[in-house]
Amino acid sequence: MSAAKTRLIRHALSAMTFTGLDRLYAQLDRELGMILTFHRVERDQPDERTPNAHLTVHPGFLDDVISLLKRRDIEMVSMDEARRRIAKPTDYQRFATLTFDDGYRDNLENALPVLESHGAPATLYIAPGLVEGTASLWWEGLGQLVAQQQRFVFAGDKGPVEFDCTSMARKQESFTALVKYLIAAVPEHLIQQRVAELCWLYKIDVAKITKDAIMTWNEIRQMVASPLVTAGAHTMNHHHLARLPQERARDEIYQSALVLEAELGRKPKHLAFPYGYHTAAALREFDIARDLNFDTAVTTRPGMIFAEHGEHLTALPRMSMNGLCQRARYIGPLTSGLPSRIKNRLNKLDVG
């Protein structure tokens, strides 16, 4: 995200807080609740100008989010309870469900103590390939490359392409451009390999980055042993499912459920689509999740949960808790639903 776009979002959120518009909207709208997305929860936060800074929040911010939701009389519930309320909506108080993607070790070290202090349930979405080293956090490696280099060369299909990283703005532009190229021009099953090879040239070990960041199975078992934490599936290898043939996409989901059941002793009932935006998961993927009998599947399409989502339980939206917006004045608007309704042109559903 560019610095200019980040500033614009912050100004808009601040304006909603200072005018009270977010609180007024929350009183008028009829949503059932919200599902919030987190990734990393670190005490030492990266420079917010680095490419993946939006994925990291401080444990104090997580605490602030839960505290504000409680003050606004929003009930913290598990994904199982959220599913029950969406399927059969009645006159419940508004709810919030916390979700954590990928299985970062800092979720155990820094997020779980906050959850336990509040008695707040959460769902941890796990991709077994990340745990076992057959898949990688390629975006983390790419972000580290962009952050440390002034320039680098990528061997594209039409010859070498040089990326200029001589300023923070150009680093972000280079990261965004290379990610777009990889998704558009490199087969999905080769992206992680191509990024690992590129990073190796600049002495960056993507496999080590992944191993250092992701929990082991024993650590995952320790976290899900908490009565507050539910394990969910996140596919085997964290692929863009929409870029895979249908049977391969189905296997990515199905096999992840089998491995999680074998490792944790319980078949997961909830799924998170990797990346989760429109071009990564759509109608085909929603149908696959339903056919595989998942109770819910979540995207990263922004939005609140409405009664109408009862007919679309494998296409649920989530609100991302952006690491670039961690001031207290941003939390109210982010959790009010107003920004997402504006972004969705006032539509409640985005399930196509």
Alpha carbons within 13 angstroms on the beta-carbon side of residue 42 total 17
Confidence at 91, pLDDT banded by 50, 70, 90: confident
Confidence at 227, pLDDT banded by 50, 70, 90: very high
pLDDT at residue number 22: 66
pLDDT at residue number 92: 74
pLDDT at 128 over 60: yes
Output the average pLDDT for the chain: 91
| Total-model pTM | 0.92
* Least confident residue range of 156-165, 258-267, 326-335: 326-335
pLDDT at 348 over 90: no
- What percent of the chain has a predicted confidence (pLDDT) above 70? 93
pLDDT at 121 over 90: yes
- What percent of the chain has a predicted confidence (pLDDT) above 90? 72
> What is the Cα–Cα distance from 315 to 297, expressed in whole angstroms?
6
Q: Are 57 and 323 in contact (CB under 8 A)?
A: yes
pLDDT at residue number 82: 97
Confidence at 228, pLDDT banded by 50, 70, 90: very high
Residue type for 278, please?
H
- Inter-CA distances, 286 with 212, 245, 279, Å: 32, 15, 13
Chain-centroid distance, C-alpha 172: 20
Tokens of 156: 């594209």
Task: Report strand pairing: 151-156 vs 122-126.
Answer: unpaired
pLDDT at residue number 29: 64
> Which residues does residue 163 pair with via DSSP β-bridges, in sequence order?
152
Tokens of 308: 């109408």
Instruction: Classify residue 19 as exposed, middle or buried by CB count within 10 Å of its CB (0-12, 13-18, 19+).
Output: exposed
pLDDT at residue number 275: 95
Q: What average pLDDT does the segment 165-181 reach?
A: 92
pLDDT at residue number 329: 79
The H or E element that residue 159 is part of is strand 159-164
CA angle 9, 15, 20 (to 5 degrees): 130
> What is the Cα–Cα distance from 348 to 160, expressed in whole angstroms?
45
Q: What average pLDDT does the segment 178-206 reach?
A: 93
* Least confident residue range of 151-160, 221-230, 254-263: 151-160
pLDDT at residue number 157: 78
